[in-house]
Amino acid sequence: MIDRAPDYAEPLGGWRVWRVARVGERDAYRLLSLAQEVVWEPREELVADCRRCRLLPKLRRSAHHVSPAETCSCGIYATQLERLEWFLDERTWPTPPYVFGRVALWGRVIECERGWRASHAYPQEIFVAAPPYRLRDDVTPGSIAAGLGEYGVPVQPLSLAPHAALGSLAEHH
């Protein structure tokens, strides 16, 4: 577990997969967490909150805790690039994800078997692969990437399907 000031000046870097949806009054493209209905707002750090404590207050055995906690699964997840393959599996998700990228993690960070859980995060670089299913004709990796430009980080549309795009990125990172 890392819960003190690190010996380096930059956040820990990891990789993650997001869903993309159009949300809000402006119908703007936004990154959403895979397992939770959490919207990553542009130009705002995402701060972890234990949903188990909030959703099951009467059933919880312990008081509310700071996220991430050693004894809970809460926190903002990231992993190594080579471990993203599982998250892109079309059999795992009802709507297969096709957006992934590098993410900065900071604050309280817990190292796990397959990556990290952190208290704070923000995207550093976003890649939009060709979706594994047909979208509307006017929705392309390029149009999605342009819509995600509000995050203020590099966003790159890719012409490859998710698994091929991931393999190509692994060769260059």
**Residue pair 127/141 in contact by the 8 Å Cβ criterion:** no
The verdict on whether omega for the bond into residue 68 sits within 30 degrees of 0, i.e. cis, is yes
pLDDT confidence of residue 47: 96
Quick one: CA dihedral 57, 110, 92, 98, positive or negative?
Answer: positive
Query: Quick check: 58 pLDDT over 60?
Result: no
Quick one: CA dihedral 75, 31, 22, 167, positive or negative?
Answer: negative
CA-to-CA distance for 118 and 95, rounded, in angstroms?
A: 25
Tens of pLDDT along 118-146?
A: 999 999 999 999 876 666 667 889 999 99
pLDDT confidence of residue 50: 86
Quick one: average pLDDT of 27-46?
A: 93
Query: Quick check: 7 pLDDT over 50?
Result: no
Quick one: average pLDDT of 15-38?
A: 90
Quick one: average pLDDT of 9-22?
A: 89
Quick one: average pLDDT of 33-39?
A: 88
What confidence tier does 34 reach under pLDDT thresholds 50, 70, 90?
confident
What percentage of the chain has pLDDT greater than the value 70? 80
| Nearest CA among 53, 22, 5, 4 for reference residue 139 | 22
| 47 Cβ contact partners less than 8 Å away, ≥ 6 residues apart | 119, 120
Query: Quick check: 56 pLDDT over 70?
Result: no
pTM, entire model: 0.85
C-alpha distances out from residue 94 to 87, 89, 150, Å: 12, 10, 27
Quick one: average pLDDT of 71-100?
A: 83
Question: Could you tell me which residue, 40 or 168, shows the higher pLDDT?
Answer: 40
